[in-house]
Amino acid sequence: MDTTTAADATAEAISTIGSYFMLNPATYQRGGELGFAGFNFYVAGRGGVLGNVDADLVTAAFAYFEPAYVRTQWESGIGVMEPLAAAQAFAETAANWAEAHVPDDFDAARLAELADKLAEGARVTAAPLFAGWRKLEVPESPKAAAIHHLNALRELRGGIHAACIVASGLDPLQALAISTPMMATAFGWTELPEVDGLRETWEQAEEATTAAFAYVFESLTEAEREEFATLVNALYSALKG
């Protein structure tokens, strides 16, 4: 399997698996136990890998979120916990989710090994959240380690995708309206723009993302790429099914 085929074959799984723990009610229950209030745990936890920065930098990294909403959630979140500590707490919820949801008969150790090779060999260009997440402590459990590394790859692909969206001429809010309009409220927006006639441009940006992400698979042999694709898609099928 060549690098472009591997990037295409794994795009949906990589883009989706890491979001599952972020959508899990148990994540925000844990945030409440730590003193957070709802979404500020997400913003401080995910953005916390950037360190003690101004909210504009978090908005830049998140790409698709309403700036004033990010500022409110970020400033309230880091008032509860220092950013890097919030990031580690957020990562721990990912580990807890993995233990509860990754099937016991799944070869999580091998997936973690391959995903780690991909993440370690990747560039941080255009992906600050990936750069920060990659520096967090990796869980010892194979299940948790697999999800940890997959989320790193999700942040990497997400950063590249945002760059491709901007390069295509689309506004990130237009991209959100095309791809996942149901998330607009969660991202702080009260209304979405008209996007008739823009889907083809978004699809071209998605293709450009896959092409730009393909180099990551140079860290694996052809056989390892196929093995990774088989494993990650099997896990994706198990988790969504």
Q: What is the 3-state secondary structure (H, E, C) of 6-34?
A: HHHHHHHHHHHHHHHHHCCHHHHHHHHHC
Kindly state the DSSP code that residue 220 receives in the 8-state scheme.
Answer: S
pTM over 0.75: yes
Q: What is the pLDDT along the chain (241 residues), one digit of tens a residue?
A: 999 999 999 999 999 999 999 999 999 999 999 999 989 999 999 999 999 999 999 999 999 999 999 999 999 999 999 999 999 999 999 999 999 999 999 999 999 999 999 999 999 999 999 999 999 999 999 999 999 999 999 999 999 999 999 999 999 999 999 999 999 999 999 999 999 999 999 999 999 999 999 999 999 999 999 999 999 999 999 999 7
Distance CA 31, CA 40 (A): 9
Angle at which helices 40-47 and 55-62 pack, to 10 degrees?
A: 90
